[in-house]
Structure 1
Amino acid sequence: MKFNDEHTGLIGLAIGAAVIGLIAERTPINRDSIIDEIERQGKNRGDGVEEDVFLKAAELVRKGL
């Protein structure tokens, strides 16, 4: 996957937001919990652009890239 710098930054923020959410909820942090949290947050965003960023972030974590 190739992304521009802005898109890459947004994906990084989505992953970070998921990890912070898991820490706040005292949920164990592992690949599956991060993916679940990224997808949950993406669905809550509603608009197509942010949701796409969260889905791409989940895909990257899932693939281990």
Structure 2
Amino acid sequence: MKADYPIRALCEAFDVSPSGYYDWLQRQAEPGPRAQEDQQLSQQVRQIHQQSRQTYGAMAESRKPRC
């Protein structure tokens, strides 16, 4: 889309400042430390979820045998 229209015109159409767009674009290209940490945590949660036969929370508790 940016090949067809100037960035300034697109930003104006979507009510976004050009500097805000470029800041967002840079964050997409280079994830910061927080984004990297979030990604690692997300992978760990998925792994635990798969290892627990995809059960968690109340559903996992309800499947445990009662004594």
TM-score scaled by length of structure 2: 0.35
TM-score scaled by length of structure 1: 0.36
Q: Which has the higher helix share?
A: 1
Larger Rg: 1 or 2? 2
- Higher RCO, Cα 8 Å, sep 6+: 1
